[in-house]
A and B are shown apart, each in its own frame.
Chain A
Amino acid sequence: MSPAAIERPMLESACSKSSDESRRSFANLRGVQWRTDLGILPPLSSSTIDDLRKVTADSRRRYACLRRHLLVDPHLPKDGSNSPNLAIDNPLSQNPDSTWGRFFRNAELEKTVDQDLSRLYPEHGNYFQSTGCQGMLRRILLLWCLRHPEYGYRQGMHELLAPLLYVLHVDVERLSEVRKEYEDHFTDKFDGLSFQENDLRYNFDFKKYLDSMEDEIGSHGNATKVRSLDELDPEIQTIVLLSDAYGAEGELGIVLSEKFMEHDAYCMFDALMNGAHGAVAMADFFSPSPVGGSHSGLPPVIEASAALYHLLSVVDSSLHSHLVELGVEPQYFALRWLRVLFGREFSLENLLLIWDEIFAADKNKLEKGAGDDTGSTFGIFSSPQGALISAFAVSMILYLRSSLLSTENATICLQRLLKFPENIDLRKLIGKAKSLQALALGPSISSSSPRCGGAYNHSKSMVVRSHTLPSDSISPKTPLNMVPDSYWEEKWRVLHKAAEQRNGSSGKQNPTPKKGWTEKVRLSLSRTASDPSPAKAGCGNDHKPSVRRRLLEDLSQELGLDEDTEKAGCDEVSGQKDHICKVVEVENQDGVNNDFTCVAEERCLSGIAGSEENSSLFSDPSSPLSGANNHENDSEKSSVASNSSIDETDDHPEANHEDTTLPVSHLPNNATLNSGDNNEATGKSLAVPKERKLLSGKFQWFWKFGRSNDGEETSEKGNGALDVTKSANDAGSQSSTVCSSVDGSCYSSTTGDLVDQNMMGSLRNLGHSMLEHIQVIESVFQQDRVQVGSSDNFSKNVLVGKGQVTAMTALKELRKISNLLSEM
């Protein structure tokens, strides 16, 4: 009886709050009231008791039918067949149609449901954890999920169902109380005449208390009525009327019935989830995919969370911006709030009051104004009920305003939001919610709302700039329609956009820091180039790896200047280069022929060149480059490299353009293929490619981009030519990857702003790369002039040949770029 005892004062207060008398005729019978609100029962004002009973009976019949149909007992033979086909219907059958198969699937579902049910409302465990209640909840949930396989069972559905069942239970308890008090009205009057004859006391009572209710229902034609029904309280009247076993539809029509609690709870749950008659459909909040008709391609619960924040921004923009700056996305807390309709935030008694208000709200979708062609992008605002729900959530956030504003830590904010305080003045909250509801429904909301996606990118770009939550800035910030992409693709896109911004902002700055260490490069390279003979191998080789290492370290520092999010990438990038350095060094240290190693390095670089070209082939598969590769190397050993790079060329066109890790991994491969004697080196570098394959394309893109920027300044000497070669190809591939990424990002970006940014960035990059190519060609011609008269080291001849060819390749790259530009 305790739940009913708690209920009473609450109910009375609810009564006093009510304004609409006709709707509150069932004020003390929440079960009936809610059923009316949810649309299961017709409102009392427009129908008679009999109608109510008929509707109730129908809905119960439907449920019973459903239950019989769906709850499978494999022992019972299927309808009509006495000898079922045993090959299908045996317990071990793999056939999905067999009854046993369905039985086992139901058992699986039940297990999932039970996991949640066992943890339901432990503080009210004496009711909710009782086996009867648990059994009912389990069956209801099971049947609903079987009926709606597209939603399946999601955690949270049990929390929506539990209060509904509780409310019905309370009603039944109230009924039994009333029964005790007003026994007379409930007693059977079959033996009315005999009572009158036998029991004087009863006779006396009968004469005193006229029971006109009997006449209305017309079950008995008893002459003496002891008490008119009007003398009873209206609520008692209704209770009596609704629970009479002889009314319309007999027992099935008893609106407040313990026997049919399960049926009624199922109907309520179904109506709540389906959003009958225009109400907010809770089931949408459980679906992961966008509902048809939503303006943004977001799942409804995310959209609703964004709607919350939008309303908050209108009401209290400082709090809103504070939360957004901290990176507290609405769905972190709003998901739970919305999915369970605040079930986890309040105690059960308060929750019932809140749900009273929510269910009582007008469900009809508002007509959109004529001039409102953009329309509210938030579906939740389209009905007063939805507006009330979001307004209530906003009032909850406002309630916590001071504690939220006082902290700069996002985690603490979230903690405060997720642990709503216990002792609250619910009336104030509800009152505030109602005022906000009016605001939410007003025209100002829709006209001032940015597009959903815009709000998203807004917050995303803000976080990217502010660096407050580096760990969070990647995954939740991307719009959710990109979630299906693989993790690495997503990272690449984010970093790419960041890089675009960086390009735009600091394009001028790039050359100057690079000049600092490219000077170093020039110095060291000039030293090595001046000793073309074996001495080069001696000290040059020592220098080269050290130079390269310095280059790479500087590059990694460069990249480290970028945003925090790329730190991990930079470490990997620099680590990758270290590995390559080590590979080269290993070769050197093995004491192979000096010329051989120096050629190996060159081939390594030519391999790089080859592979860079290969990567550009991804987006523009054409054969001229492979032809260029063929011409490149005259000597035998270098032809090995070119063959290997051509082989890779053949493999590459199939590869995804995003997966540009392969060329990176081929670098060490090339280097070691040529020095076949060095098994150890081979072993090491084979280990290296495996690591490389794990890197995403974006790392490589950055690496190339960095190197291209490096190489762009260096010129003049032989090794400089190699660098320039690299840069030419780097730039070419970079531009093509940029273009392809532009295409990719065009699909994904939802606002025009970002697209424009990307376009501008990519155009700028194209301009850069064109300049680079022109410089390459110029420098190559200069080198040709310089080196024609120099020593006869065969490597130098190779270089000269390469120089010419690189000029050709650069020209081809320029042609490609111009084609791309013309297409854009």
Chain B
Amino acid sequence: MVLVLAIGDLHIPHRAADLPPKFKSMLVPGKIQHIICTGNLCIKEVHDYLKSLCPDLHITRGEYDEDSRYPETKTLTIGQFKLGICHGHQVIPWGDLDSLAMLQRQLDVDILIAGHTHQFKAYKHEGGVVINPGSATGAYSSFTYDVNPSFVLMDIDGLRVVVYVYELIDGEVKVDKIDFKKTATTRS
């Protein structure tokens, strides 16, 4: 019953002022055990805010991040799952599933979390799961202005992960849920 928040591409203060208030009201400290951040926060204040939600914060470097000490990629293990994080601008073509799958195999993880496209995506392929949490502030991306704010909450429980997607569409928070089960033995 581990709740992991996947969030990224906030681009505060360059492209957006703050998280949408409805999102902010939902993100209260005490419920979430880990935060995974794909990058492009961009400033330290946002880092501190995320740290206040949960002390266990994992973050990778996006191209506009002002703190250059974040790593390019990161891996961690939560429960039975191995998770990998990367911002995604390094993977070309941006957002391409095959390239991301290549990265996933490289990092040897079950769940890869990458961003940069500002579009929510969740792919399942035999290797594992690729999740793109989108942009939590709805900041414009390199190729489109039409971005819905979104983030992802994963509920990791044993061999099963439930992915809750929170999107702000027309001012309302819409929640969606996707179930993934890890096949136990194949990947060690």
A residues lining the B interface (CB < 8 Å): 75, 86-87, 90-94, 104
Tell yes or no: B102 within 8 A of A by CB. no
B3, B157, B164, B176: the one within 8 Å of A75 (CB)? B157
Residues of A within 8 A of B173 (CB): 87
Verify B164–A91 contact, CB threshold 8 A.
yes
Can you name 19 A-B residue pairings with CB atoms under 8 Å? A75-B157, A75-B162, A86-B175, A86-B176, A87-B174, A87-B175, A90-B153, A90-B164, A90-B166, A91-B31, A91-B164, A92-B27, A92-B31, A92-B153, A92-B164, A92-B166, A93-B26, A94-B26, A104-B30
B residues lining the A interface (CB < 8 Å): 3, 25-28, 30-31, 153, 155, 157, 162, 164, 166, 173-177
B26, B162, B177: the one within 8 Å of A92 (CB)? B26
Verify B25–A94 contact, CB threshold 8 A.
yes
Residues of B within 8 A of A75 (CB): 155, 157, 162
Verify B31–A90 contact, CB threshold 8 A.
no
The CA-CA distance from A75 to B159 in the complex, in Å, is 13
**Given A75-B157, A104-B31: A90 in contact with B177 (beta carbons within 8 A):** yes
Known contacts A91-B164, A93-B26; 12 further A-B pairs (Cβ under 8 A)? A75-B155, A75-B162, A86-B164, A86-B176, A87-B173, A87-B174, A87-B175, A90-B153, A91-B31, A92-B27, A92-B28, A104-B31
| Residue from B3, B31, B157, B175 whose CB has the most chain A CB atoms within 10 Å | B175
The CA-CA distance from A548 to B103 in the complex, in Å, is 86
Residues of B within 8 A of A93 (CB): 26
The CA-CA distance from A90 to B22 in the complex, in Å, is 14
Residues of B within 8 A of A94 (CB): 25-26
The CA-CA distance from A741 to B32 in the complex, in Å, is 53
Residues of A within 8 A of B155 (CB): 75, 91
Verify B31–A86 contact, CB threshold 8 A.
no
Q: Shortest distance in angstroms between B53's beta carbon and chain A's nearest beta carbon? A: 11
The CA-CA distance from A91 to B153 in the complex, in Å, is 8
Q: Shortest distance in angstroms between A508's beta carbon and chain B's nearest beta carbon? A: 66
The CA-CA distance from A91 to B154 in the complex, in Å, is 9
The CA-CA distance from A87 to B30 in the complex, in Å, is 20
Q: Please give me the residue from chain A that is nearest to B174 by CB atom.
A: A87
The CA-CA distance from A86 to B155 in the complex, in Å, is 14
Q: Please give me the residue from chain A that is nearest to B27 by CB atom.
A: A92
Q: Please give me the residue from chain A that is nearest to B23 by CB atom.
A: A92
Residues of A within 8 A of B164 (CB): 86, 90-92
How many inter-chain contacts with C-beta < 8 Å in the A-B complex?
32
Q: Shortest distance in angstroms between B75's beta carbon and chain A's nearest beta carbon? A: 24
Q: Shortest distance in angstroms between A102's beta carbon and chain B's nearest beta carbon? A: 13
The CA-CA distance from A86 to B179 in the complex, in Å, is 13
Q: Shortest distance in angstroms between B8's beta carbon and chain A's nearest beta carbon? A: 17
Q: Shortest distance in angstroms between B99's beta carbon and chain A's nearest beta carbon? A: 31
Q: Shortest distance in angstroms between A60's beta carbon and chain B's nearest beta carbon? A: 28
The CA-CA distance from A92 to B164 in the complex, in Å, is 10
Q: Shortest distance in angstroms between A112's beta carbon and chain B's nearest beta carbon? A: 14
Residues of B within 8 A of A92 (CB): 26-28, 31, 153, 164, 166
The CA-CA distance from A93 to B23 in the complex, in Å, is 11
Q: Please give me the residue from chain A that is nearest to B5 by CB atom.
A: A92
Q: Please give me the residue from chain B that is nearest to A100 by CB atom.
A: B31
Q: Shortest distance in angstroms between B160's beta carbon and chain A's nearest beta carbon? A: 8
Residues of A within 8 A of B31 (CB): 91-92, 104
Q: Shortest distance in angstroms between B174's beta carbon and chain A's nearest beta carbon? A: 7
The CA-CA distance from A91 to B30 in the complex, in Å, is 12
Q: Shortest distance in angstroms between A206's beta carbon and chain B's nearest beta carbon? A: 51
- Nearest 9 pairs of A and B residues by beta carbon: A86-B175, A92-B26, A90-B175, A90-B164, A87-B175, A86-B177, A91-B3, A91-B153, A104-B31
The CA-CA distance from A523 to B91 in the complex, in Å, is 97
Residues of B within 8 A of A90 (CB): 153, 164, 166, 175, 177
The CA-CA distance from A87 to B174 in the complex, in Å, is 7
The CA-CA distance from A430 to B40 in the complex, in Å, is 73
Residues of A within 8 A of B26 (CB): 92-94
The CA-CA distance from A94 to B27 in the complex, in Å, is 10
The CA-CA distance from A104 to B26 in the complex, in Å, is 14
Q: Please give me the residue from chain A that is nearest to B177 by CB atom.
A: A86
Q: Shortest distance in angstroms between B152's beta carbon and chain A's nearest beta carbon? A: 11
Q: Please give me the residue from chain A that is nearest to B173 by CB atom.
A: A87
The CA-CA distance from A86 to B172 in the complex, in Å, is 13
Residues of A within 8 A of B174 (CB): 87
The CA-CA distance from A90 to B173 in the complex, in Å, is 11
Residues of B within 8 A of A91 (CB): 3, 31, 153, 155, 164
The CA-CA distance from A94 to B26 in the complex, in Å, is 7
The CA-CA distance from A13 to B124 in the complex, in Å, is 71
Q: Shortest distance in angstroms between A200's beta carbon and chain B's nearest beta carbon? A: 53
Q: Shortest distance in angstroms between A305's beta carbon and chain B's nearest beta carbon? A: 38
The CA-CA distance from A264 to B176 in the complex, in Å, is 43
The CA-CA distance from A87 to B172 in the complex, in Å, is 10
Residues of B within 8 A of A87 (CB): 173-175
The CA-CA distance from A558 to B157 in the complex, in Å, is 74
The CA-CA distance from A94 to B23 in the complex, in Å, is 11
Residues of A within 8 A of B176 (CB): 86
| Residue from A75, A87, A90, A93 whose CB has the most chain B CB atoms within 10 Å | A90
Q: Shortest distance in angstroms between A77's beta carbon and chain B's nearest beta carbon? A: 11
Residues of B within 8 A of A86 (CB): 164, 175-177
Q: Shortest distance in angstroms between A558's beta carbon and chain B's nearest beta carbon? A: 55
The CA-CA distance from A574 to B157 in the complex, in Å, is 68
The CA-CA distance from A159 to B175 in the complex, in Å, is 44
Q: Please give me the residue from chain B that is nearest to A108 by CB atom.
A: B30
Q: Please give me the residue from chain A that is nearest to B160 by CB atom.
A: A75
The CA-CA distance from A86 to B178 in the complex, in Å, is 11
Q: Shortest distance in angstroms between A108's beta carbon and chain B's nearest beta carbon? A: 8
Residues of A within 8 A of B157 (CB): 75
Q: Shortest distance in angstroms between B134's beta carbon and chain A's nearest beta carbon? A: 16
The CA-CA distance from A86 to B175 in the complex, in Å, is 6
Q: Please give me the residue from chain A that is nearest to B154 by CB atom.
A: A91
Q: Shortest distance in angstroms between A467's beta carbon and chain B's nearest beta carbon? A: 49
Q: Shortest distance in angstroms between B179's beta carbon and chain A's nearest beta carbon? A: 10
Q: Shortest distance in angstroms between B52's beta carbon and chain A's nearest beta carbon? A: 16
Residues of A within 8 A of B3 (CB): 91
The CA-CA distance from A75 to B155 in the complex, in Å, is 10
Q: Please give me the residue from chain B that is nearest to A85 by CB atom.
A: B175
Q: Shortest distance in angstroms between B113's beta carbon and chain A's nearest beta carbon? A: 18
Residues of A within 8 A of B177 (CB): 86, 90
Q: Please give me the residue from chain B that is nearest to A83 by CB atom.
A: B177
The CA-CA distance from A571 to B162 in the complex, in Å, is 66
| Residue from A87, A90, A92 whose CB has the most chain B CB atoms within 10 Å | A92
Q: Shortest distance in angstroms between A160's beta carbon and chain B's nearest beta carbon? A: 30
Residues of A within 8 A of B153 (CB): 90-92
The CA-CA distance from A104 to B32 in the complex, in Å, is 11
Q: Please give me the residue from chain B that is nearest to A93 by CB atom.
A: B26
The CA-CA distance from A92 to B27 in the complex, in Å, is 7
Q: Please give me the residue from chain B that is nearest to A73 by CB atom.
A: B1
Q: Shortest distance in angstroms between B149's beta carbon and chain A's nearest beta carbon? A: 14
Q: Shortest distance in angstroms between B33's beta carbon and chain A's nearest beta carbon? A: 11
The CA-CA distance from A86 to B176 in the complex, in Å, is 7
Q: Shortest distance in angstroms between B56's beta carbon and chain A's nearest beta carbon? A: 17
The CA-CA distance from A201 to B70 in the complex, in Å, is 79
Residues of B within 8 A of A104 (CB): 30-31
The CA-CA distance from A94 to B162 in the complex, in Å, is 19
Q: Please give me the residue from chain B that is nearest to A87 by CB atom.
A: B175
Q: Please give me the residue from chain A that is nearest to B151 by CB atom.
A: A92
The CA-CA distance from A91 to B162 in the complex, in Å, is 11
Q: Shortest distance in angstroms between B108's beta carbon and chain A's nearest beta carbon? A: 28
Q: Shortest distance in angstroms between B109's beta carbon and chain A's nearest beta carbon? A: 23
Q: Shortest distance in angstroms between A775's beta carbon and chain B's nearest beta carbon? A: 67
Q: Shortest distance in angstroms between B182's beta carbon and chain A's nearest beta carbon? A: 16
The CA-CA distance from A104 to B166 in the complex, in Å, is 19
The CA-CA distance from A93 to B157 in the complex, in Å, is 19
Q: Shortest distance in angstroms between A535's beta carbon and chain B's nearest beta carbon? A: 67
Q: Please give me the residue from chain A that is nearest to B158 by CB atom.
A: A75
The CA-CA distance from A75 to B1 in the complex, in Å, is 9
| Residue from B27, B31, B174, B176 whose CB has the most chain A CB atoms within 10 Å | B31
The CA-CA distance from A464 to B164 in the complex, in Å, is 65
The CA-CA distance from A75 to B28 in the complex, in Å, is 21
